[in-house]
Amino acid sequence: MFEALFYLGSIVVANLLVMNFGIIQVAGLSFPAGAVAVGFTFTARDLVQRRFGKWGCWIWMFVASGISAVFSPTLALASLGAFVVAEGLDWAVFTASPLSFRGRAIVSNLVGTPLDSVVFVYLAFGPIWDAMWGQTIIKLASSLLIVFMIRNVQETGFKSTALKGEVA
């Protein structure tokens, strides 16, 4: 259940940040304020799929869309569009890849994060290309950070205590 709570929590944090701060600029990059938190969702979704199966994770993706609707109808539509299109593609790549968990997460994140950024920013704010580019960079970095923090993920199951630096 940790995986699902991490996934949903990152979406709640991302929505709160976007609602309160909109598009921000840091170190010359423009991006929606929730980009770092929502970047976590890509690897978290992979963990959810690992735990609940390739179809069970879709239930959690629609729960996440419902949570987005609580915050803002505009964010909900943008999030739903991004979930269906980008996370759908991320899901397909992750599911079809013969690589290890880490390899599948990296490849699916490389494919899903740029598409998610374009769809979400376009639907939430309009065609702000600088924000789409900035969000892609921030999301990809944060999604890959989680991938590289995960240690000892066995093909037989995920242990929530298997984060780098922790003693199992």
DSSP H or E stretch at residue 134: helix 129-149
Q: What's the first-to-final CA gap in the chain, in angstroms?
A: 18
CB 41 within 8 A of CB 63: no
Residues 53-91 as b/e (b if ≥16 CB within 10 A, e otherwise) read eeeebbebbeebbebbeebeeebbbbbbbbbebbbeebb
In tens, the pLDDT along 5-48 reads 888 888 888 888 998 999 999 999 999 998 888 888 878 888 88
Q: Tell me: domain 2-149, CATH 1.10.3470, correct?
A: no
Q: pLDDT band for position 157 (50/70/90)?
A: low
Sign (positive or negative) of CA dihedral 35, 24, 137, 36: negative
In tens, the pLDDT along 96-126 reads 999 988 888 889 889 988 999 999 999 999 9
Helix axes 129-149, 35-71, angle to 10 degrees: 110
CB 15 within 8 A of CB 41: no
pLDDT of residue 58: 79
List the chain domain ranges: 2-149
The C-alpha atoms of residue 156 and residue 168 are separated, in whole angstroms, by 16
In tens, the pLDDT along 74-94 reads 888 888 888 788 878 988 898
